[in-house]
Amino acid sequence: MKPFTYVKPADIEAAVRAATAEPRARYLGGGTNLVDLMREGIEQPDTVVDVTGLPLDTIDDLPGGGLRVGALVRNSVLAADRRVRTRYRMLSQALLAGASAQLRNMATVGGNLLQRTRCPYFYDTDASCNKRERGAGCDALDGFNRGSAILGVSEHCIATHPSDMAVALAALDAVVEVQGLDGTRRIPLTDFHRLPGDTPDVEHALAPGELITAVELPPFAAPSRYRKVRDRASYAFALVSVAAALDVRDGVIAEVRLALGGVATKPWRAREAERLLAGGPADEDAFRRAAEAELAAATVRPANAFKAGLARSTIVATLRELTTEGTAR
């Protein structure tokens, strides 16, 4: 491991100053991803800014029924919170599906948003990876790409985003609060992660030194569910996941939210499917048409072409559950 300077600031302002002063600085929260990347030589920060002592570990009610979740709240704490389990069911389910209990006890909300892809070529320093080194090439394009993305891809990168939590947050219209030298910014979760384009190494909308301080959840009441399809039932990343919310009134869809994981280069809000479903009948034919429209733009390769069909069937199955299990009204 490359030597680095360790800093543990006393407050948020000091943390931001320390991270901004060094272009190769990294914030340390739970460390469940960053420490592994440092061991592998993929992340080589000159300065590690330990933010675990900052007062960012509470879940607070917002006026109108929303929640403000501090960036240092542990994933296990957020999943178990009564308000989250009852009002944001898909989020609790996504967190519980996302990792082992040991990792959930360490991982933080802010760190979860910033975790990096699990593409095997990203972790192999002998392989070509544009996400690790811009301009190096992408061995996944013609290599082992069964787990790679089919939505939001580019000729430079087909790596999937690994987070389950972020998929639910995308469906919930969550907002990320960040603190920098110029003050506080609020970034919609759906705009926080960037598509790869020709700069796949630029993965998010944070400016240098900016620190995630909280995630805000707007008021939400619709029945919801998170469904994850993976190779094994134990701790594994998604082949396909669906975060869905459906509010049905007299057989008509009054509100629908859909986001996909495991198939895209960022948490994928299924806007086209939502557009087709809103105001229409809550039946299987409508669900299937919406799923097919959302996946129409998929760019597949022989090894991951199955994901398009799997995503379509998972969308339909999740929406069907919400209409037949007594959760929709």
Tens of pLDDT, residues 42-84: 999 999 999 999 999 999 999 999 999 999 999 999 999 999 9
pLDDT above 70 (res 328): no
pLDDT above 80 (res 99): yes
Which of 167, 148, 151 lies closest to 159 in space, CA to CA? 148
The rounded distance, in Å, linking the Cα atoms of 120 and 98 is 19
- 92: alpha, beta or left, given left = phi > 0 and alpha = psi -120 to 50? alpha
Distances (CA, A) of 28 to 63, 130, 244: 31, 24, 32
The confidence band for 324, taking pLDDT boundaries of 50, 70 and 90, is confident
Report the predicted TM-score, pTM, of the whole model to 2 decimal places: 0.96
Which of 273, 304, 271, 264 lies closest to 291 in space, CA to CA? 273
pLDDT above 60 (res 329): no
What's the confidence (pLDDT) of residue 325? 62
Tens of pLDDT, residues 154-207: 999 999 999 999 999 999 999 999 999 999 999 999 999 999 999 999 999 999
The confidence band for 17, taking pLDDT boundaries of 50, 70 and 90, is very high
Tens of pLDDT, residues 259-312: 999 999 999 999 999 999 999 999 999 999 999 999 999 999 999 999 999 999
Burial of 20 (0-12, 13-18, 19+ CB in 10 A): middle
Which of 148, 152, 91 lies closest to 294 in space, CA to CA? 152
Q: What DSSP string describes 270-305?
A: -HHHHHHHTTSB-SHHHHHHHHHHHHTT----TTTT
Give all strands of the β-sheet with 47-50 in edge-to-edge order.
Answer: 5-7, 47-50, 25-28
The answer to whether 240 touches 268, Cβ cutoff 8 Å, is: no
The rounded distance, in Å, linking the Cα atoms of 122 and 132 is 6
Burial of 239 (0-12, 13-18, 19+ CB in 10 A): buried
Which of 65, 21, 94, 71 lies closest to 211 in space, CA to CA? 71
Residue 76 is encoded by which pair of tokens? Answer: 């296990």
The rounded distance, in Å, linking the Cα atoms of 162 and 236 is 10
The confidence band for 327, taking pLDDT boundaries of 50, 70 and 90, is very low
Q: What is the DSSP letter of 108?
A: B
What's the confidence (pLDDT) of residue 289? 98
Angle ∠(220,224,228) on CA atoms, nearest 5? 135
**How many CB atoms within 10 Å of residue 135?**
9
* φ and ψ of 217, to 5 deg: -105, 120
What mean pLDDT comes out for the span 106-123?
A: 96
The answer to whether 116 touches 245, Cβ cutoff 8 Å, is: no
The rounded distance, in Å, linking the Cα atoms of 246 and 118 is 31
Q: Give the bridge partners for 48, in sequence order.
A: 6, 26
**How many CB atoms within 10 Å of residue 141?**
17
Chain-centroid distance, C-alpha 107: 13
Tens of pLDDT, residues 212-270: 999 999 999 899 999 999 998 877 899 999 999 999 999 999 999 999 999 999 999 99
Angle ∠(12,104,177) on CA atoms, nearest 5? 30
Quick check: helix, strand or coil at residue 315?
A: helix
The rounded distance, in Å, linking the Cα atoms of 287 and 7 is 51
